[in-house]
A = this chain, B = another copy of it.
Amino acid sequence: MSSTADAPRPPGRPRSVRADEAIIEATLDLLAEGSTIEAISVEAIAARAGVGKATIYRRWSGKDVLLRDALRTLKGNVPQPAGRSVRDDLITLVGAVGHAIDPRAERIMPCLVPEVNRSPEHHALYQNIIEPRRTVMREVLQRGVRDGELRADLDIDVTMAMLTGPMLIQRVMRWHPDLDETTLAEKIVDGVLGGIRAD
Q: Is A159 in contact with B191, judged by CB distance below 8 angstroms?
A: yes
Q: Is B113 in contact with A173, judged by CB distance below 8 angstroms?
A: yes
Interface residues of A in 86-119 (CB under 8 A from B): 106, 110-111, 113-114, 116-117
Q: Which of these, B114, B192, B197, contacts A196 with CB under 8 Å? A: B192
Residue ID in chain B nearest A192 by CB atoms: B196
Interface residues of A in 139-156 (CB under 8 A from B): 148-152, 154-155
User: Number of residues in A with C-beta < 8 Å to the partner?
Assistant: 52
Q: Is A159 in contact with B113, judged by CB distance below 8 angstroms?
A: no
Q: Is B198 in contact with A152, judged by CB distance below 8 angstroms?
A: yes
Pick the interface stretch among A4-12, A60-68, A74-82, A175-183: A175-183
Give CA–CA (A22, B170) in the complex, Å.
35
CB distance from A84 to the nearest CB of B (A): 17
- Chain B residues with CB under 8 Å of A113's CB are 110, 113-114, 172-173
Q: Is B158 in contact with A184, judged by CB distance below 8 angstroms?
A: yes
